[in-house]
Amino acid sequence: MSANTSKIPVRIAGTGSYLPAKELTNKDLESIVDTTDEWIFSRTGIRSRRIAAEGENTSDLATEAAKNAMEQAGITADELDLIIVATISPDTITPATACYVQHNLGAKSALAFDISAACSGFLYAMEVAQRMISDGNFKNALIIGAEKLSAFTNWDDRNTCVLFGDGAGAAVLTRGDETTGRILSTKIGTDGSQTGILNIPGGGSACPTTVDNADQKLASLAMQGREVFKLAVNAMKRASEAVIEEAGLTAESIKLVVPHQANLRIIDAIADRLTIPNEKVFVNLHKYGNTSAAAVAIALDEAHREGKIERGDNIVLVGFGAGLTWAAAAIQW
Ligand code: UT7
């Protein structure tokens, strides 16, 4: 955990997001797998999700979100020192998706690398970037959560294919001062004993896709939903409480919580446990489903652009995902 009291303060200068145009509704899914709009909506809160076009890669989604964030921040590609892309659906195993984004933006002097922390990835990126800025060596960082999960979805598996979607969100972090908002506290954590309950089992070096196993679609998201559900609620509650306490905030002083968008029942349970009313918790998963590393970033941008976050407001971002990983940040806007 870090409470940013001694080093250079770090603030969010701009946010952006990008969603592919194609919508895939629950009704559409009824003709693909044995499911119903009623089941999906009542169990998850999801009504629709976006699907990237053929040839539209994770780096393309990331680049568009980045451009929006940079425009809002008033920062040009030349001024970027650092680009971190959080993703579990990279364009290629190597090089990093961030390298494609650096080239797309023409951000020639920016260091660029990826973070793989699943749905917590955007907040892991925030933690790393704010430390690098806070130490004084970097000034302007672009952090992006971007996913093309449709490329890693088994469209025959109703347990998972109804949950995920594609999209990207971004934020520009920069040096703050006494007159600006700042990231107040952060917490990230990992439990590597639970790698088996949420993963993409194939396609890596442990289980390459071969002619013999290709029909098993092992390079697709697999999840033991109920187990993940319970752990998600507990981990996000604990991470949120930790950053709220470290920042010296109270539940009453928080204007908005922006949680990972996986399941409305998880979001409601967290709000309940934090004693934060539902109207102070931002939800957009009905439109986009679970976009993993992009979810918190897209939600933050939408909340900001809808005027739900204003200068001086205290907000909490919180996520949870495969790893298992969890992360939270308390921010004064
Ligand atoms: O982003 C990373 C973190 N991920 C999460 O936090 C996700 C956490 N988990 C969840 O959100 C929920 O566990 C799910 C939405 C994935 C599943 O909801 P659930 O209430 O836990 O349902 P379940 O998996 O226990 O399945 C209940 C029933 C099963 O049928 P039986 O065995 O009771 O006859 C499933 O086969 O629902 C069935 N089912 C479906 N039925 C219609 C599963 N998927 C579907 C479907 N349509 N799409």
pLDDT digit string (tens) for 110-154?
Answer: 999 999 999 999 999 999 999 999 999 999 999 999 999 999 999
List, in order, residues 6 or more apart from 261 with CB less than 8 Å away.
267, 283, 284, 285, 288, 289, 290, 291, 295, 296, 298, 299
42/153 same-domain check: yes
List, in order, residues 6 or more apart from 209 with CB less than 8 Å away.
202, 203, 218, 219
Is 21 part of a structural domain of the chain? Answer: yes
> Of 151, 179, 207, which residue sits at a domain end?
179
* Atom 29 of ligand 1, nearest CA residue: 159
The CB of 229 under 6 Å from ligand 1? The reply is yes
pLDDT for 178 equals 84
Is 3 part of a structural domain of the chain? Answer: no
Where would I find the beta strands (DSSP E) of the chain? Answer: 2-3, 10-18, 22-25, 48-51, 82-86, 111-115, 141-148, 166-175, 182-190, 198-199, 222-223, 256-259, 314-321, 325-332
Q: Cα separation of 274 and 73, whole Å? A: 32
Q: Cα separation of 233 and 320, whole Å? A: 9
- C-alpha 161 – ligand 1 centre gap (Å): 11
204/125 same-domain check: no
Q: How confident is the model at residue 7 (pLDDT cuts 50, 70, 90)?
A: confident
pLDDT in tens, 247-263: 999 999 999 999 999 99
- Nearest ligand 1 atom to alpha carbon 159: 44
In this structure, how many other beta carbons lie within 10 angstroms of the beta carbon of residue 248? 12
230/296 same-domain check: yes
- C-alpha 163 – ligand 1 centre gap (Å): 9
Is 250 part of a structural domain of the chain? Answer: yes
> Of 135, 162, 179, which residue sits at a domain end?
179
pLDDT of 3 higher than 90: no
148/243 same-domain check: no
pLDDT of 6 higher than 60: no
Average pLDDT of the chain to the nearest whole number: 96
The CB of 265 under 6 Å from ligand 1? The reply is no
The CB of 46 under 6 Å from ligand 1? The reply is no
289/206 same-domain check: yes
Average pLDDT over residues 305-328: 97
Q: Cα separation of 294 and 124, whole Å? A: 12
Is 223 part of a structural domain of the chain? Answer: yes
pLDDT in tens, 201-251: 999 999 999 999 998 999 999 999 999 999 999 999 999 999 999 999 999
Is 159 part of a structural domain of the chain? Answer: yes
61/160 same-domain check: yes
Is 175 part of a structural domain of the chain? Answer: yes
Number of separate domains in the chain: 2
Any idea what the CATH number is for the domain that residue 193 is in? Answer: 3.40.47.10
Residue-number span of the structural domain to which 192 is assigned:
183-332
226/307 same-domain check: yes
